[in-house]
Amino acid sequence: MFAIDDLILSDHARKRMHQRAIRPWMVEVALDYGETVFDGKGCIRCIVTDKALENTPYENDREQLRGLCVVVSLSDGTIVTVEWVYNLKRKYPRLNFCRSVKNSRRILRSNQWTAQKPSIPA
Per-residue pLDDT of the chain (122 residues; tens, 9 = 90+): 555 667 788 999 999 999 998 999 999 999 999 888 888 888 999 999 888 888 989 889 888 898 899 999 988 889 999 999 877 665 554 444 444 444 445 545 555 544 455 545 55
In the sheet that holds 7-9, the strands lie side by side as 2-4, 7-9, 79-84, 68-73, 43-47, 35-38
